[in-house]
Amino acid sequence: ATTLGAAAAEKGRYFGTAVSLNRLSDSTYSTILNREFNSVTAENEMKIDALEPQQNQFNFTTADRLITRANEIGAKVRGHTLAWHSQQPGWMQSMSGTALRNAMKNHITQVMTHYKGKIDSWDVVNEAFDDGNGGRRDSNLQRTGNDWIEDAFKTARAADPAAKLCYNDYNTDNWSWAKTQGVYNMVKDFKARGVPIDCVGFQSHFNSGSPYPGNYRTTLQNFADLGVDVQITELDIEGSGTTQATTYGNVVKDCLAVTRCNGITVWGIRDTDSWRASGTPLLFDGSGNPKAAYNAVLSAF
Ligand code: XIL
């Protein structure tokens, strides 16, 4: 195969990218998107503040354009994200207790109903665990009660039973980290108690503070063994040249080694599209030329 999407499809996987909707008018960007990827995630446009700027007033116009493009190019869509402590609209930031819990559930229901049948996988809950230990992150949502995550997943299942429901987080790649164990134990508990969860997303923003770990494949496999799909959802790798390319190739090989690792998404197309303020963490350079990392990904499939 000569594109990322086709190479992944030959192995029964998808290869996706985050898309920033205002970049679609950039022809270099759009050409690469249309050619290379068979899954897309809105980088910001399906977040809570974007879709529900005022309480119970939804604005789907921009995000709907991603669905249109995805249909045109035959790509799946990952929905990102329904419940999160960050990028909440102002009205939600100032809420608490039962009112916030109900607002969270209403957001999930309304958004998933609007996109019913159009989203392959939803990040129902994003980044709910604390970085320093295996416990929950403090947030307004967490303060509504420890059951807010399972409440979110049950609400999501009722709204669109066909969508895969994912828990998504970062720094959960290294099997020996407490945060990884915290998320693992939650998923294990959910499966044991019948809380609906279908997948775990590993953001995989690799850098010097949280490098690609040698036990990444073990982590993916251990989660998969709980009976969920695993997806690499926001991949970017700090660095350049051969070192970066080798790591990208290793990530692909790790996913291919785990039957239930069904897709990889990079968090942007060109280095200049990255959310990282500096560096060259993606597969295409600023001019849209494929880098060594691109070739490594293609040949790892
Ligand atoms: C980032 C976007 O890339 C930025 O444009 C935005 O300013 C902040 O959010 N984890 C996530 C993503 O789940 O939603 C974040 O995306 C990156 C970290």
Q: What is the pLDDT of residue 105?
A: 99
In a 13 Å sphere around the CA of 64, the CA atoms on its Cβ side amount to 6
Q: What is the per-residue pLDDT for 208?
A: 96
Closest approach atom of ligand 1 to CA 123: 13
Residues 6+ apart with CB under 8 A from 134: 178, 179, 181, 182, 185
pLDDT at 35: 98
Residues 23-80 have pLDDT tens digits of: 999 999 999 999 999 999 999 999 999 999 999 999 999 999 999 999 999 999 999 9
Separation of CA 232 and ligand 1 centre (Å):
15
Nearest to 126 by CA among 81, 96, 171: 81
Tens of pLDDT along 112-125? 999 999 999 999 99
Atom of ligand 1 nearest to the CA of 80: 14
Cα(11) to centroid of ligand 1, in Å? 28
Q: Is the CB of 44 under 6 A from ligand 1?
A: yes
pLDDT for 214 equals 98
For ligand 1, the distance from its centroid to the CA atom of residue 48, given in whole angstroms, is 12
Q: Can you give the pLDDT at residue 34?
A: 98
Tell me what pLDDT residue 243 has. 98
Residue written as token pair 């690469």: 32
Is 81 exposed, middle or buried, given 0-12, 13-18 or 19+ CB atoms closer than 10 A? buried
Which residues in the chain come in under a pLDDT of 50? none
C-beta 91 within 6 A of ligand 1:
no
28: helix, strand or coil: helix
Cβ-proximal residues to 4 (8 Å cutoff; 6+ apart), any chain: 15, 36, 37, 283, 294, 297, 298
Tell me which residues are annotated as active site.
234
